[in-house]
Amino acid sequence: MTDRRLFVSWNMDCETVQEESQATGGSADWATAERAMRGYVERLVERGQRVTLFLVPRLAEALPEVVRDLIAAGAEPGLHIHPQTTDLGYDAHLGQLPLETQRLLLQQGRDRVAAVAGRAPTSFRSGCISESWEIFPMLLELGFTQGSTTLPGRNLPSVAAVCVNDTPFANWREGGFGRRFLELPVGVALDEVGPHREAPCSPRHLRLEYEG
């Protein structure tokens, strides 16, 4: 018998505000960020769905009550890293940095989100889907077991985000010593983000801000 069930992962990249980083494509201000987060989670929770919030550490620290309220409502806290945010101050994207620097950012980010959320995140998404193949053992060592590090069809070598040949379905990534990371690729319209061109590194085509 064919299994015709559809599995959906609801999640949101929770970015810092634009004045603190133009690179992240975040909300104009903290009030807008809060409306978007609350609106997204609350509407889905009303329908019996669970949401993962991929939190930039700076946002988690700026909106701690919002983060805790949404976790209490059933949201899962995840980690989202953009090295260009003002509190970190790097010019490069995650996959362009040395592995030891990537590890430091991941470890510090995990601990900062945990301090707000009350528990360490186990889900991870890289900013702009910037990563290197060596990231999976590192993620597993730091306690991350699932997340999104690929966007099939994205071809953006300028930010170390080349996913042209990646599978568009959930898959396992080997982390060594029998450990595996569950990769849940980000889904987009491939006519907008395809191997035929270098796609813009902007989340605005997936943007959601709650009004009301």
pLDDT tens for residues 82-134? 998 878 889 899 999 999 999 999 999 999 999 999 999 999 999 999 988 88
Closest to 115 measured CA to CA, from 184, 67, 151: 67
Q: Return the CATH fold of 10-145.
A: TIM Barrel (3.20.20)
Q: What is the pTM of this model?
A: 0.87
pLDDT tens for residues 16-57? 988 877 777 788 899 999 999 999 999 999 999 999 999 999
Distance, in Å, from the CA atom of 84 to the CA atom of 174, rounded to the nearest integer, reads 28
Amino acid (1-letter code) at residue 21: S
Amino acid (1-letter code) at residue 77: P
Distance, in Å, from the CA atom of 183 to the CA atom of 167, rounded to the nearest integer, reads 10
Check pLDDT > 70 for residue 201. Answer: no
**Pairing verdict, β 161-162 and 155-156:** antiparallel
CA–chain centroid gap for 190, Å, is: 19
The DSSP secondary structure of 175-205, one letter per residue, reads EETTEEEEE-PPP--TTTS-TTS------GG
